[in-house]
Every structure is written in C-alpha cells, then in structure tokens.
Chain A
Amino acid sequence: MTAYLLRRLLQVVIVLLGVSVFAFFIIYLRGDPVQFLVPIEHSTPELLDEIRKEMGFADPLHVQYFRFLGKAMRGDFGQSWQLREPALHVVLERVGPTFQLGATALCLALLIGVPAGVLAATRRGSTIDLAASWIATFGRAVPNFWLGIMMILVFGVLFQVLPISGRGTWLHLVMPAIVLGSDAAATQMRLVRSSLLEVLNQDYVRTARSKGLSGGAVIAKHALRNALIPVVTILGVQVAFIFSGSVVVEQVFAWPGLGRLIVQSIFRKDMPIVQVAVVFLGLIVATINLLVDLSYTLIDPRIQYD
C-alpha cells in the first residue's frame, strides 16, 4: 500500500509539473509576452526593453520557468495585469461560488442519476428504462449552454418563476445547477444501469435472493455496493467535466464564479489569472483522481494495492 501510494503520488507530481509547464508557456504562445502588456501604438523599442527587464522576460526561458515554479509553490503568481492585486487572491475570491454551484450540480446528478439507474436496471425493458435511456441519448446531443438558454426562456421569461441571472437566493442556484449537473446525471444513470445489470447475474446475488431476502435488501446490501466501483471511478472525470461546464454555464447565468473569471481574463489578456486558474484546476482534478483511486479499497476490500 505504501509503495503504491508513493508511486501514485509521484504520478500526481509529474502531472502537476506538466500542468505548470503548460501554464508557464501560455504567455509565450505568440512569441514575445510584452505584446500582452503594451498596446502596439504606444510601443517603442526602449519601452518594450524596459518592461522586458522589469518583468524578467529578458532572462533565459528555463530561468524564467524555474522562477515561475518556485514562486508558484509558495502561492505567488504575481500581480494581475489588469486588477493590480495578487492573481491568486482574485482567483480564490471566485472559487466559492463555483464550488457551491459545482457541488450542488454533482449532488443533484448523484441523487437523480443513481436511483434512475437502479430503477432502469431492475425494471429492464420497462417504460421507465426506455424513457431513461432516451433522455440520456438526447442529453448527449444538447449543449449545456443551450439547455440553459431554453430553461431561461421557459422558466424565466414565459412563466417567470425563476431568476435568469446572477447569484443571491437559492432560487438563483436552481437553473444553473440543473443545467450543470444534467450531463453527469445521464452518465451516472447509464453506468449504474449497466454495472448493476452485470452484478445482478452474479452467484452471490442469486444466493442472497434464495435465502429469502427481499428484492430491495438484495439491491441495497449486495448488488449496489458492487456496482458502485464504476460510479466512483467516473466521479473523478466528472469533476473535470463540471469545471469545464461551469465555464459556459456561469457565462449563461452570469454566475460570478471561477469559470466566468477565466473567460473575462482571457479576453482582457490578464494572463497571470489564467495561469493561476489552470494550475488550480489541475491540482483539484489530480487530487480528486488520487482520492478516487484510494477509495476503491474502502468500497471493495478485495482490491489491495501493492
């Protein structure tokens, strides 16, 4: 277990180093990074040189990268180019709303997806099963931002029961959370259905049935726990998906979170903010994938790492 943990941690470190290289090189994608900072009409060679020296762009690339990495590990990503405060601060201020939205969306997805999957698997071929699989198929074809706009049209404009933008009361959370969680719910449903169907054919389920346990008890105690592994596995992927989705969904609903900040910063060419956001998201996704891997031993004691 310890050896496995160390190997796995090493992998996380390698991934994070890769993420940091990506974050660092974003500002070099178009060559000279000073062009983000100075409007072309104001630039003179002397001014550009001065800025290059001041920002450290004149040093060799590897020197700059290790300086970036060293500072990043201490939480220092420099000042935002537009807002004149530390970039990390600006990002951390917007993390709360995104976590609130993302966590609500993920809970919704589990609360709807898992029971729907159980229903579909235990009543295989029924109307519920068919309806669920058709909804899931359609869900793959509907972009979440369009689903958001359609919900705004129906519940915000037509019936006027829900606010169409901003953050405030829990009512503001309803539409964005449903939209953000819909993909994850459909995926969970499909996964629970297929893995439960597989498990229901196993000998131990037949044994549990034949010793007189009720259908519900068999599902809850014997089948579902074994069917949960793929559900947990996909959670790591889904967290990354939810962060991707939040970029668009926050834009649709004017939700003041990290996703919206990323979009605004890209258009304002505020690169330090983009760099923090990339590193931050990479860190979260890598950590969650690590936790997911480690949680297998809790769900299924037969899995031993060595």
Chain B
Amino acid sequence: MTEAVARAAAGGTSGPPRALRLFFARLRRSKVGTLGFVMFASVVLVALIAPLLAPHDPREIALDKKFLSPVFAGGSGAHPLGTDQLGRDVFSGVLYGARTSLIISILSVTGAFSIGVTVGLVSGFYGGGWDPFFMRVVDILQAMPSLVVLLALIGVLGPHLSTIILVFAFTGWGGYARVVRGEVLSVKRREFADAARAIGLPEGQILRRHVLPNVLSAALALAALALGSVIIAESALSYLGLSADVVTWGRMLAGGREYVVTAWWLAVFPGVAIVYTVLGVVFFGDWLRDYIDPRIRGRF
C-alpha cells in the first residue's frame, strides 16, 4: 500500500486514478487535513492567477498615494489593504508575494529531497567508505545554525532566485539523507529483501523495486513538513534584505517594521499571508505523515 501511496503523492507512474481516489477518499475523512489542503491549494491558485486578481502592479510607485489606510480603516476601495511608504498597493503585493514564496520553497524542497534521498540510499545500501563520509558531511551541515549558513552563502553569492533555490537545496538535504539511510538499514534486513536476494535479483534491482518505495514514504512525509520551514526561512532572509524580488512577503514586512508606528497595515497583512500558507502546509503535512506511514507518527 505504501508503494501506491508514494507513487500517488510523487505524481504517479502507474495507476494514478485508483491511488488518487484512495488518497482523496482518505483526505476527506480528516477535517484538519482537508482544511490544510484547501488552504495550500488556494495559495497555489492565487500565485498562478495573481495578474488576474491584483488590482494594481505591485511594483508601481505612486508617491502621491503613500500610506493610504486599508478600506475597513477609512481608506478607499481602490487599495483594499492600503498602500506602503512608496504608494505601492499592499493587496497586490500580498498576492504576488505568493509566487516568489512558492517557487522558492517548492523547488528547493524538491532539490533537497532528491539529493538527500540519493545520498541516503547510497549511504544505507552500499555502506562502505561512503557511509561515514556522508554522515560526517550531514553532521557538519547540521552543526551550524542554518540561517547563518544561508545568510553567508546567499549574502556572498547574491540573492538571485536560482541562487537562493540552489543554496536551500544544497544545505537542506541532511534530514532526508538521515531518515532514508535509517529506513534502508532496517528495510534491507527484512525478509522480502532477503527473498529477492535469494532468487538472484541484482542489488540495483532490489534497491529500486523493494527498498526505494518503502523509504520514499518516510522522506515524503519529511518533505511536506520541510516546505513550511523553507517558506518561513525564505521570508526571514527576505526580511533581512536578501530577497529574490522586490515583492516578497518578507521584504514587505521589513517596511512594515520600519513604519510600525504610523502604518500598522504594512506589518500585518504580509505576515497573515505567511501564517495562512504555512498553517495550510502544517495541517496537510501532519495528515500526510500519518496517512503515508502511521508507524512514523511523532518521530519528527
């Protein structure tokens, strides 16, 4: 069953309709899981159609319209969430901010997942000299405060979209490698792996057919939760001034902190957008973890 689930969650290679039906049938039974899925899906949708929804260009500066209040605090409907210190529309910024946030988080989690699973498989399955080497590299990666490492690398290389994604991917794979390695070590001693070996299947085939599907589920559960922390880390870097775009939630909040005494709305709405997105990810991720593999409940 876990094999089908892993396939369904990974995009599916064979028989996706049935696996997907099972997935959604289970999802509907959990209120919190459904809520999380709907919340996250709504952010994805907003990111996709932001140009259709946004009333203004979020980068458009209009100095005659700066610090307009939101509509429910005496402002006008033309700028429903008010404007910032340069007269830019906050509502449009919040909508467009979803794009940068999702592109960075989804691509970098995918990258870290791929590296981590590969390293974990090699390390756990072949062992030998690579195992201690990779595990020490993971130790080193995890020995330093992650934000400091991200800040140093992105600060030096420059905050371009591709740089940020690569840095997140190359510093974030340690957790997957550890989990996958541990799972491989326990899976490869189980009866079905012995049985496969006994009938003469080559090691590569055993790895792909029998070990991989079993360990992927554990890594997928970790990825769902990592998505939330990457969204938060990216917004923190943006807040500190390393943003890939003029319009990011973190960068908007930096302006919000500066003008917190006069324009509270600048500090509130981009933050609400982050919390809404990450809360959706956390709700859905927690459900997905229990769904994929009830055995690993509470291990992260």
Q: Which residues of A contact B (CB under 8 A)?
A: 11, 14-15, 18-19, 22, 26-27, 29-30, 137-138, 140-143, 145-146, 149-150, 152-153, 156-157, 164, 194, 240-241, 243-245, 247-248, 251-252, 262-263, 266-267, 271, 274, 277-278, 281-282, 285-286, 289
Interface residues of B (CB under 8 A from A): 136-137, 139-140, 142-149, 151-153, 155-157, 228, 232, 235-236, 239-241, 253, 256-257, 260-261, 264, 267-268, 271, 274-275, 278-279, 281-283, 286, 298
Q: Which of A18, A156, A278 contacts B148 (CB 8 A)?
A: A278
Among B145, B264, B278, B282, chain A packs the most CB atoms within 10 A around the CB of B145
Cβ of B140 and Cβ of A18 under 8 Å apart? yes
Among B148, B240, B241, B267, chain A packs the most CB atoms within 10 A around the CB of B148
What are the nearest 6 A-B pairs in CB distance? A18-B140, A266-B155, A244-B147, A146-B271, A244-B145, A141-B278
A140 touches B140 (CB 8 A): no
Given A143-B271, A244-B145, A281-B144, A262 and B151 contact (CB-CB distance below 8 Å): yes
Q: 5 A-B contacts, Cβ less than 8 Å apart?
A: A18-B140, A141-B275, A277-B148, A278-B148, A282-B144
Q: Give 17 new A-B contacts, CB below 8 A, not counting A141-B274, A263-B240.
A: A14-B136, A15-B136, A15-B143, A26-B156, A27-B156, A137-B279, A137-B286, A143-B232, A143-B236, A146-B253, A149-B253, A149-B271, A153-B268, A157-B260, A194-B298, A240-B145, A278-B152
Majority DSSP secondary structure for residues of A touching B? helix
Bound-complex Cα distance A240 to B141 (A): 12
Residue pair A153, B139 in contact (C-beta under 8 Å): no
- Write out the residue numbers on chain B whose beta carbons fall within 8 Å of the beta carbon of A278: 144, 148-149, 152
Which of A149, A244, A263 interacts with B256 by CB under 8 Å?
A149
Known: A143-B235, A281-B144. Contact between A15 and B240, CB under 8 A?
no
CA distance A267 to B155 in the complex (A): 7
| Most B-side CB within 10 Å, residue of A29, A146, A266, A289 | A146
Closest to B239 in A: A145
Contact B228 A266 (CB under 8 A): no
Q: Which residues of B contact A248 (CB under 8 A)?
A: 147, 236, 239-240
- Find chain B residues with CB under 8 A from A11 CB: 136, 139
A19→B145 CA distance, assembly (Å)? 11
Smallest Cβ distance from A240 to chain B, in angstroms? 5
Cα A18 to Cα B137 in complex, Å, equals 8
Contacts of A146 in B (CB 8 A): 253, 271, 274-275
Which residue, of A26, A152, A248, A282, has the highest number of chain B Cβ atoms within 10 A?
A: A248
Q: Are B256 and A286 in contact (CB under 8 A)?
A: no
Query: What residues on A are CB-neighbors of B142 within 8 Å?
Result: 240
Chain A CB within 10 Å — which of B142, B155, B282, B286 has the most?
B155
How far, in Å, is B150 (CB) from chain A's closest CB?
A: 9
With contacts A18-B136, A22-B144, A277-B148 taken as known, whether A142 is within 8 angstroms of B239 at the C-beta atoms is no
Contacts of B236 in A (CB 8 A): 143, 145, 248
Contact call B147/A164, Cβ cutoff below 8 A: no
* B202, chain A: closest CB distance, angstroms: 34
Whether the Cβ atoms of B140 and A157 lie closer than 8 Å is no
Contacts of B235 in A (CB 8 A): 143
Contact residue among B260, B283, B298 (Cβ-Cβ distance under 8 Å from A149): B260
**Residues in B whose Cβ lies below 8 Å from that of A30:** 156-157
Which one of A14, A141, A274 contacts B152 once the chains associate, using CB atoms below 8 Å? Answer: A274
Residues of B within 8 A of A143 (CB): 232, 235-236, 239, 271, 274-275, 278
Q: How far is the CB of B271 from chain A (nearest CB, A)?
A: 4
Q: Enumerate chain A residues within 8 angstroms of B151, measured Cβ to Cβ.
A: 247, 262-263, 266
Residue on A nearest B141 in the bound complex, by CB:
A18
| A241-B144 Cα distance, complex, nearest whole Å | 9
Q: Which residue of chain A has the shortest Cβ distance to B32 in the bound complex?
A: A137
- By a CB distance below 8 angstroms, the chain A residues around B286 are 137
In the assembled complex, which residues on chain B have CB atoms less than 8 Å from the CB atom of A282? Answer: 143-144
- Contact for B253 among A18, A145, A274, CB less than 8 A: A145
A150 touches B148 (CB 8 A): no
Instruction: Compute how far the CA of A261 lies from the CA of B89 in the bound complex, rounded to whole angstroms.
Output: 33
Closest beta carbon of chain A to B153's beta carbon, Å: 7
Q: How far is the CA of A76 from the CA of B264 in the complex (A)?
A: 46
Which of B140, B152, B153, B267 interacts with A150 by CB under 8 Å? B267
CB-based contact B148/A244 at 8 Å: yes
Known: A146-B253, A146-B275, A149-B253. A19 touches B144 (CB 8 A): yes
